[in-house]
Amino acid sequence: MSASTKIDSAILDQLKDIVGPKGWIENEDDKAPYLVDFRTLYQGATPLVLRPANTAEVATIVRLCANAGIGIVPQGGNTGYCGGATPHEDGGEIVLALTRMNKIRNVDPLDDTITVEAGCVLADIQSAAEAVDRLFPLSLAAEGSCQIGGNLSTNAGGTAVLRYGNARSLALGLEVVLPDGQVWDGLRLLRKNNTGYDLKQLFIGAEGTLGIITAATLKLYPRPVENCTAFVALSDAEAAVKLLARAKDASGDGTTTFEYIHRACLDLVFALDSDLSDPFEDRHDHYALIEMSSNQDVAEEVLGEAFEAEEVRDAVIASSGAQAATLWRLRELIPEAQNHAGGVIRHDVSVPVSHVPEFLRKARQSAETTIEGVRIAPFGHIGDGNIHFNLVQPTGGARDAFLARTHDIEVKIHDIATELEGSFSAEHGIGQLKRDELIRYKQPAEREMMLRIKAAFDPKGLMNPGKVV
């Protein structure tokens, strides 16, 4: 059956029987939220949304679809930015939403592990870890709605990568339903397991194109005894890199977060939430939000040295948990504030940390030359070189006309990042949005290896068709 052929009603009935009356959605209005991506860039169609309750149901669905030649689009919290969880317009694919598979199977503070199903919301995993006095460090703006299966499938990053690494670094084992319906039980508690290929790494970051992650065993960490949060006004972008180095030198691996924020982002946040106020009397162009797992004395020493070197122009260290939360809110509201301001062209790039200032200069010059009046509002995880170089439509401009310029500017921004030894995709994945970019920037040998892996695992091309490769 080709992807453009309507799915036989008898097969749809069999799929419904697998998941039972609570496990499928056929009504057009009820299906609607599953058929559009978070950024509303893609609108798809499907005759049926399936919501399995367990791994056995997923495996049975996959076997049936494999035999019938039906494509499957796995979906978690549907918070992705690249259309990776959205079906195509022809309606020839089934959407497999893992929301009901949200059990926390086991928490072990002695082994520092937690085993969870793919539909668990990230914030719920954080809370389950906290309940046993442990930390699950993956943290991002969508943590109240994104699901761990999607986090792993896109190798999510977030604000704590600097110390704890991406999602890839936090996974000890996976349970995966393979494209033929077999279940691979790769759930492991082991920190050392050198027995051949590390198969789990193939599925992390693969966006459901090689199989469907149904559960994962994840690393936990001791909760920091102390936390210190600071909001800093910087002299320039170079000062951010220098201050990061000072913080790391002073705290060892205790610098958990180092977020860069341009003034344009704060202006949009204040326009969205009038209850928030500027931490400083004077305006500055460059800021950093820093969190250290150490006492305030260390932060004061670092900032004092940076003041003397004229890298820091002003700073506030949170004196309470409430104040720290307010400072964090300035950072967390940025994506929403940008959306509120109109059309947004987003870039999720990474470069070596030392190249971040040069990237910001060159990218700004390119954007201003390409789109007159564009509002440039970059922010991101400068600690690992990941900058969200986002462009907001000119004030008074038309959203659709602005977004129509996406390709014009993104090629230039991605070229700049690549020329600086960087990547056009740091943590948001490929999905539908960046497939052409992957072809442009990947070496032919890399593309060939990816295609061989895809063909080996999914020879019929039914797992999340048209995504990534």
The answer to whether 84 touches 122, Cβ cutoff 8 Å, is no
Query: Which residues on adjacent β-strands are paired with residue 93?
Result: 71
Whether residues 319 and 394 share a domain: the answer is no
| 82 found inside a domain | no
Question: What's the pLDDT score for residue 3?
Answer: 42
Closest CA to 62 of 200, 188, 210, 198: 210
pTM for this predicted structure: 0.92
Whether residues 245 and 261 share a domain: the answer is yes
Domain final residue pick, 222, 240, 268:
222
Whether residues 364 and 294 share a domain: the answer is no
Distance (Å, whole) CA 100 – CA 214: 11
Q: Are strands 286-292 and 348-350 parallel, antiparallel or unpaired?
A: unpaired
Query: Which residues on adjacent β-strands are paired with residue 286?
Result: 234, 262
- Residue 281: give its domain's CATH number: 3.30.70.2190
Encode 113-129: b = buried (16+ Cβ within 10 Å), e = exposed. bbbbbbbbbbebbbebb
| Residue 224, SS3 per DSSP | coil
Question: What's the pLDDT score for residue 253?
Answer: 82
Tokens of 296: 């305030």
Distance (Å, whole) CA 129 – CA 112: 9
Torsion on CA atoms 115, 158, 192, 223, rounded to nearest 10: -70
- Residue 210: give its domain's CATH number: 3.30.465.10
Q: What is the pLDDT of residues 229-248, one digit of tens each?
A: 999 999 999 999 999 999 99
Whether residues 323 and 349 share a domain: the answer is no
Dump strand ranges (E) for 18-124. Answer: 24-25, 49-50, 71-75, 93-97, 104-108, 113-117
| 202 found inside a domain | yes
pLDDT averaged per 10 residues in sequence order, the chain, 469 residues:
69 98 96 94 96 98 98 96 95 97 97 98 98 96 95 94 95 98 95 92 98 98 92 97 95 91 97 95 97 90 95 96 95 94 95 97 97 96 94 94 93 97 94 94 95 97 97
Question: What's the pLDDT score for residue 1?
Answer: 38
| 431 found inside a domain | no
Whether residues 294 and 361 share a domain: the answer is no
Domain span at residue 195? 104-222
Distance (Å, whole) CA 135 – CA 315: 28
| 217 found inside a domain | yes
